[in-house]
Amino acid sequence: MLQPTWKCSIQPKFNLLCQSICFAEATMATSKLMRAIRVSEFGVPSVLKLCTDLPVPSPRQKQVLIRVHACGVNPVDTYIRSGSYARKPSLPYIPGSDVSGVVEAVGEDVHLLRAGDRVFATGTVTGGYAEYTVASEDTVHKLPDSLDYKQGAALGVPYFTAYRALVHKAHAKAGETVLIHGASGGVGIAACQMARAFGLTVLGTAGTSEGMKLVLSNGAHLAFNHREKDYLEKIKDATNGQGVNVIIEMLSNVNLSNDLQLLGFGGRVMIVGSRGPIEINPRDTMMKETSIIGVALYNATKTETSECTAALFAGMEAGWLKPVIGPQYSLDKVAQAHEDIIGSSGASGKMILIM
């Protein structure tokens, strides 16, 4: 009896069909497009260009592809965009580092995360002002259910900077007094919450009455309006003339000289932000042996970053870490966001982009 021959002829065609389908799916995945902000030249906010046809990046080994729900806008983003920052990315680039969203796909050797996980990232490989971004696995963390995506986008630079300034650089201790100069913004609120939780006496400044209320509701024992002429005297009175132990300074090109007058013996000023030069008298550091210390998050070691991460997750569990969201912008309004974060009359929470 003759054996049918159709199996032999159809099997290669079936295998070829399967290969074609797999190739087509892979091609569709790699050719998927996204909206993102691209910078092709350094300059004013108008160099932030919305592109609608950029390819979605693919995660490589130990990398994660995130579908971005929100991305934090930080002052450092504006310094980088303008070309005035010490570290400049290669052009063109997509700005942004603090994202939150959902894991879309993972690369090889990623073991702690999987597609569908709610996450936040403290850094990206391909840029955060985009609908999709790739980040290294070691910078991506699961987002607790107690925080939404907007709050997840407010964790990276603000809270990691606040911890580095307070703990790693200032070596602040429970019982000391800290002044947070510009306490109503992202880093300021993070520093208020953290310092209060760590047992410090917390003084904060803001530029509006709403900002002062925000500072007080997020851990500060006392708040001062830094637009009032006598606010420095009020701070001195609040410390009974002893001065503060630590100052977290967001605008040192304006405040540094005055900061030196507010410090007690052995006090230290942490320079978190500066938009230009300022003249000081070095003698102001001598009598009280005070210190001026710069803070740059990108200098943190892996050990320091791991320590900070552990401390922040403990804060989320304890309930004192609660990011406050301020102005929100759509991706096509990013130029306005960059103008506002530098030129606004007073910060009120963390500025974010919504995708």
Matching residue, tokens 């303008």: 82
- Whether 305 contacts 283, CB under 8 Å: no
pLDDT at 81 over 50: yes
User: In 10 A of CB 91, how many CB atoms?
Assistant: 12
In whole angstroms, give the CA distance from residue 143 to residue 84: 33
The whole-number pLDDT of residue 30 equals 53
In whole angstroms, give the CA distance from residue 201 to residue 332: 41
The pTM assigned to this predicted structure is 0.88
pLDDT at 19 over 70: no
Strand partners, 246: 178, 268
Which one, of 127, 6, 150, lies nearest residue 57 by Cα? 127
Write the pLDDT tens digit of every residue in 111-150.
999 999 999 999 999 999 999 999 999 999 999 999 999 9
**pLDDT tier, 346 (very low <50, low <70, confident <90, very high otherwise):** confident
3-state secondary structure 73-101: CCHHHHHHHHCCCCCCCCCCECCCCCEEE
Give the CA radius of gyration of the chain. 24
pLDDT at 72 over 80: yes
The whole-number pLDDT of residue 311 equals 98
- Whether 278 contacts 254, CB under 8 Å: yes
In whole angstroms, give the CA distance from residue 260 to residue 16: 75
Residues in the chain: 355
In whole angstroms, give the CA distance from residue 183 to residue 347: 8
**How do 99-106 and 118-121 pair as beta strands?**
antiparallel
